Amino acid sequence: MTITDWVHSIAGFFILITLGLGVTASPIFVHEYFLFGTAFVGANLLQFGFTKFCPMALFLKALGVPETRE
């Protein structure tokens, strides 16, 4: 998997978990404040569309995840 694959997978997982924890109709509901996590990930994805800067990509690159497929 490349960096972009990991970024999309991690973002999707984080969004689904924070929605589950923040929506009152969810069986794993904890508190509405978890929806701020969903907004944070969405805002980062939006700013990446304009700036091409992603903090998670920098972290994954430091871990040695390949940028392109071989």
- Give the pLDDT score at 57: 94
How would you write the pLDDT of the chain (70 residues) with one tens digit per residue? Answer: 999 999 999 999 999 999 999 999 999 999 999 999 999 999 999 999 999 999 999 999 999 999 999 8
Q: What ranges do the domains of the chain cover? A: 3-62
Q: Following DSSP, what letter does each residue of 8-63 receive, concatenated? A: HHHHHHHHHHHHHHH-TTSTT---GGGHHHHHHHHHHHHHHHHH---HHHHHHHHT
Identify the pLDDT of residue 70: 82
The pLDDT of residue 55: 93
